[in-house]
Amino acid sequence: MADIHHLSAVRLRDAIRSGELSAREAVAHFLGRIDASNPRLGAFVTVTPDMAMADAAAADHLYARRSPGQELPPLHGMPLAFKDLTDVAGVVTTHGSAALERRPAPMDGALAAVLKGAGAISLGKTQVPEFGLTAYSENRIAPPSRNPHALSRSSGGSSGGSAAAVAAGLLPFAPGTDGGGSVRIPAAACGLLGLKPGRGLVPAGESGGDPAKLVVAGPLARSATDAALMLDALVGDRSQGAGQGSGEGPSQGSNGPESVAGYLDSVNREPAKLRIGVSLDSPWAGIFPFTPDAEALDALETGVRLLTEAGHDVVETAVRYDNRYPDAFTTAWTAGVGAARIAPQREALLTPLTRTFRRRAQQRSASKLSESLAFLRQFQRDTVAQYAEWDLILTPSLAQTPRPVGWFTGSAHGDGHWPVSEWAGDADGDYRRQCEFAPWSSMVNVCGLPAVSIPVHWTGGAAGQGLPMGIQLIGHPGSEALLLQTAAQLGF
């Protein structure tokens, strides 16, 4: 057998279910990988080897004692990890913040409960930005999460530690959560496939302070097939129609029946010929004008070529976005941190960006938040109506190559060395840089639509050479299967 970490998640699942590998062998292998590589990568904040090996032993015991024909859980014995915003019973959830006291979570959060209930084994908690607010995974409690393809670069955020771990072979796949791009951004930065499901399909998990219902959990994986395996576990039984979107919009290709049968069963079926609209328009452009890097445009050109060669109609389109969007989104996005319980004497331990946006959120009136939420609902209706002309919308995943560690914060040690004794206090500059880096992400969350980032381009000219760059495909409600089928059709 090839090295365990070279196996696809589906192949590893099959090996464990068949008895070719034990859960303990798989878990021990990945714990060894973490032990060897995490000190330079910074992907994990907390590793829980004793807990993981005990859970693996229990999985092996279940396998050995099962009765003939007894069905194993769908992710039986599969190692993964949760970003450090998600509660795992008995493990500290830091939320990436030095301002919070360190107390073990009394119970699993919704996301951990679903995946552990499906048989998965948690190896620990991965690096995140403070409260998941940013597009880079750097904070004041642990080393920054670095990009496995270039350690001087960021792995993105907020699921940056999880993405780095999967890309470096420390995990076969991992769940992320996405409230403004937090699965798709690190997937693009690390050369992975990252799927943000539509609103309501899977448990949101950790975000209680999410008045606009932006956050949804989704897979970070090395292929569409591996992502489909995790999505099936996240969604669970769809036989009663649970998790199905409205299905409104143009033809969904072969999406409908397959999503009920299972994403893994349907992922390698060819989608019908699609009409795909290509757009560089962004709702951030009015307040933060930006020019995409040549590498982002190269990735988009590659995506157009691959989709055209697959038989789809790919046509440029213009999307009109209301220029009130940035203010409304920022108001909704930062509402949760304004309400977070932080002792007054510990507020000084917050990063400058968190402290600034927390203060502004606390100073806003309730009516201002209500107005912003009402606007975002109208924005959703207007944007979805424009997207309805197309089966899918195509954009670059990111406007720039993965940024250097420390670049967003303007840290005193611009090389990103940790600990950072002083972070620059320019919260607005930090936020602007993030919006210019990932200008096509957050509106998808506002609209509640599914989207996938696919790593179609490398700056060095070949897969694994240079830095990865991706494309984003945005679908209609209920089109998760179609997005995975399209990614698989392109060879991912």
Residues with catalytic roles? 83, 158, 182
Q: Residue ranges of the alpha helices (H) in 137-221? A: 160-167, 184-190
Coil, helix or strand at residue 471: strand
The label of the residue with tokens 């714990």 reads 31
Residues 205, 111: contact at Cβ < 8 Å? Answer: yes
Check if the beta carbon of residue 18 is closer than 8 Å to that of residue 26.
no
Closest CA to 428 of 405, 406, 412, 409: 409
> How far is residue 394 CA from its own chain's centroid?
18
Report d(CA 174, CA 388) in Å as an integer: 31
Peptide bond just before 158 cis, omega within 30 deg:
yes
Which residue has 């930062």 as its token pair?
334
Two structure tokens written together for 300:
């988009």
78 with 121: CB under 8 angstroms? yes
Strands 275-278 and 313-316: parallel
At CA 282, angle to CA 198 and CA 245, rounded to 5? 15
Q: To 10 degrees, the CA torsion angle through 409, 412, 414, 417?
A: -100
User: Tokens representing 179?
Assistant: 């409230």
How far is Cα 441 from Cα 397, in angstroms, rounded to an integer? 8
- Helix or strand or coil: residue 482? helix
